[in-house]
A = this chain, B = another copy of it.
Amino acid sequence: MRRIRMIVAYDGTDYCGWQIQPNGMTIEEVLNEKLKKLTGEDIHVIGASRTDSGVHARGNVAVFDTESPIPPERMAYALNQKLPEDIVIVRSDEVPEDWHPRYQHDVRKTYEYHIYNAPVMDPLKRRYSTFVSFPLDVEQMRQGAAYLTGEHDFASFCNVRTNVESTVRKVEELEIRQSGRDITIRITGSGFLYNMVRIIAGTLIRAGRGFYTPEKVKEILEARERTEAGVTAPPEGLVLVEIRYGAQNMQSSEVHRR
């Protein structure tokens, strides 16, 4: 038995998120089904990040155990032949059999939240950006964002449904880039609370509109109360860009899909 690790990219538009659930198709379900077709085994993948319905990924990570003779590095190519075109295995390798994608020290995750800020929506951006029609002041957004970097109690930026021991997290980088009408919030940290990135995005959009002063973002953080922050921004703007595992990143080069 070998444990195979995969970097998984997907367009989340047509999926009910990562995790298997009764009411719709999920990324996890498609991977299990196609791996069964490929190997003949009952395979259950374990994902690093159980992304929500409609959220995208360029670099989610998953593992599974198999007796298949397919070489670990070739698994990406073999599986891509069976997957629909909105799910792609970027690469694959072998890891120790106790390696778990959610229980590792020294993990860094990077997300991007994409906003299209223009008077009218561009239909070519609608699947991967959130449309904001009122003009956003990016400098105000940056000033508000500055209060969120570092280690803080992010209780105000955590969905109330969450049941976690601690709501303290460390945001290592939080950068806002503008290119024409595209605004990207890029955020890196060791871990995020449930809906944290989307609540930060919703709050910074309010700061960009002028509804909040940058200092209000600091007050929201200090209040440790979800009701203080802005709305959870919609899922289509969010992409899980990368998960880095300290010394245990993948070394193999990318495989070719075709």
- List residues of chain A with CB under 8 Å of any chain B CB: 9-11, 56, 58, 76, 80, 85-91, 118-124, 126-128, 131, 133, 239, 253-258
* Cα A122 to Cα B89 with chains together (Å): 10
Which B residues touch A122, using CB under 8 A?
9, 58, 88
Closest to A254 in B: B119
- Do A11 and B124 touch (CB < 8 A)? yes
Enumerate 26 A-B pairs (CB-CB under 8 Å) in ascending A order: A9-B122, A9-B123, A9-B124, A10-B123, A11-B123, A56-B123, A58-B122, A80-B120, A85-B121, A85-B123, A86-B126, A88-B120, A88-B122, A89-B120, A90-B120, A91-B120, A119-B254, A119-B256, A119-B257, A120-B254, A120-B256, A121-B257, A127-B127, A133-B256, A133-B257, A133-B258
Closest to A133 in B: B256
A255: contacting residue among B58, B80, B120, B256, CB under 8 A: B120
Which B residues touch A10, using CB under 8 A?
123
Closest to A131 in B: B257
A126: contacting residue among B85, B91, B124, B253, CB under 8 A: B85
- Do A87 and B123 touch (CB < 8 A)? yes
* Cα A199 to Cα B219 with chains together (Å): 58
* Cα A255 to Cα B119 with chains together (Å): 6
Which B residues touch A119, using CB under 8 A?
253-257
* Cα A115 to Cα B133 with chains together (Å): 29
Give the Cβ gap from A54 to chain B, nearest Cβ, in Å: 13
* Cα A256 to Cα B76 with chains together (Å): 44
